[in-house]
A and B are shown apart, each in its own frame.
Chain A
Amino acid sequence: MQQIVSKSYPKRESKIIANNIKTQVPAELSHWLTLVAEQRDKQAFTALFEFFAPKIKRFGIKQLGSDAQANELVQETMTNVWRKSHLYNIDKGAATTWVYTVMRNASFDILRRIKAKNEQNLGDDIWPIDMAQDELQGEEDNFGDHLMEKQMLVYVNTLPEAQQAVVKGVYYQELSQEQLAQQLGVPIGTIKSRLRLALSKLKLQMGEDYHD
């Protein structure tokens, strides 16, 4: 991305130039984000980085007031984009809106760290970034369900770590088995067998509880 505004800006000629060269938001943004989520695609991430980083830096300088902190904001925002891209739901909004949320949350937490000397991150609790999950939450306002799921989660948490990751990925984050294989860097067959094992253990545990 090139910045257009030159020092001699407020002259008539440059006004025309500025209007002609103004940058567009690339239509591929959400596609790139999906590639990062599903395939850990470094090239797509680099493209996202090139588009967003300078703008995040500009936002950071405005909000946080220093070059170093603006760099920290770029680092933190783009790290969250990389690590949490599977929480972006293409059907629920533009990539720019999601990245803005990730950036504003990080900025809010960095500012709290500076001002209140508070290390606790609250941004993502206040402004949820898991768009897929929001929908779920709205639909089940039933305590019974919550308690049931809480109990279920207790069982899930007793599974070996590798099986937990698969169960949580498939059921709670709604990732496909292919996506999980890519994220965890294991063959799809391994995902399938871990899931089978985990489910049979869970059935056993839940069955036992019913007989108590």
Chain B
Amino acid sequence: MIKHHPTSSVLRHFVAGELPVSVAVIVASHVELCDECRAAVQLLTEQAAAQAFDDTVMGEALSGLQSDTPIEDDEFFKAFDFDAATVSDITGSDAANMIESITEQSALINSALAQTVNEIEISGTRIKLPRAIKSIALREWQGLGKLSRARLALEDQELRASLLHIDKGGSVPCHTHKGFEITLILRGSFEDEMGSYREGDFMWLDGDHTHQPVTKEGCVCLTVSSDAIHFTQGMSQLLNPIGRFIY
């Protein structure tokens, strides 16, 4: 049973396509594993579609606004004005040409299946990767003790996305995050001071959280972080250089 999910605001931005690509990828990977969030995304998509395509929705929103909100002048409706121009633009000969050039093309016949099979092997077990990362290359695995990490070849400014494997009995020393760190467990489980997490759980942590994840059975996670993690305690502060590594 998945206990940790993205917030509904994150899901709304996800549906609108407004998240940075690596965050969109990790949210999509959770949604693939989580029936609850998949249903929420479906609903939010229907709402977004209605907003984009159903003028009655907009009409109702407008009349609602009109009754309660005093409208100064044309300001509010300026946004809708370009529509008139747009419509004539797109229904003229431009539209005819566009329709012509599109319908000359044939349908796409490609194998849906080839694209869905995407597995990797990590210390002897095969795991199925989320569909959202199937076209993204993985860089070399790099190991450090029971930790190993393969970065996703995904350019996303300061954000880094990685697969992280922690072997049985491994742990990440107590640390906090300078930026934020999102973790999705793809396989296995881990515990920290705040609780235990299993397959499908999605955690979004920031600088306010300090934790020390430990895994008994081992785990494979997808992570997205915006900055290096920072070790907070005694000896493990010596490890701060590897915070770079984990980020």
Contact = CB atoms under 8 A, between A and B. Distances in A.
A52 B62 contact: no
Interface residues of B, number: 66
A197 interface: no
Interface in B146-163: 155-157
Nearest to B91: A50
Interface in B89-148: 89-91, 95, 98-99, 102-103, 105-114, 116-117, 119, 126, 128, 131-136
A183 B106 contact: yes
A46 B49 contact: no
Contact of B128 (A40, A61, A146, A169): A146
Interface in A137-163: 137, 143, 146, 149-150, 153, 156
Interface string B12-36: 0001110001001100100000000
Contacts of A128: 131
Interface residue tally on A, bucketed by range: 35 or more
B48 A5 contact: no
A2 B86 CA distance: 11
Interface stretch (B69-77, B189-197, B234-242): B69-77
B54 interface: yes
B111 A137 contact: no
B119 A104 contact: no
Describe A's contact surface by its main secondary structure.
helix
Interface in B56-93: 56, 59, 62-63, 66, 71, 73-74, 76-77, 80-84, 86-87, 89-91
A24 B77 contact: no
Nearest to B153: A120
A49 B99 contact: yes
A74 B113 contact: no
A97 B49 contact: yes
A5 B128 CA distance: 51
A31 to B, nearest CB: 16
A127 B31 CA distance: 10
B208 interface: no
A40 B56 contact: no
23 contacts: A3-B80, A10-B66, A10-B77, A18-B62, A45-B103, A49-B95, A49-B98, A53-B90, A54-B87, A74-B90, A75-B102, A83-B107, A100-B48, A103-B52, A111-B17, A116-B157, A122-B135, A127-B17, A137-B116, A150-B117, A153-B117, A168-B109, A172-B111
Interface of B: 15-17, 21, 24-25, 28, 42, 45-46, 48-50, 52-56, 59, 62-63, 66, 71, 73-74, 76-77, 80-84, 86-87, 89-91, 95, 98-99, 102-103, 105-114, 116-117, 119, 126, 128, 131-136, 155-157
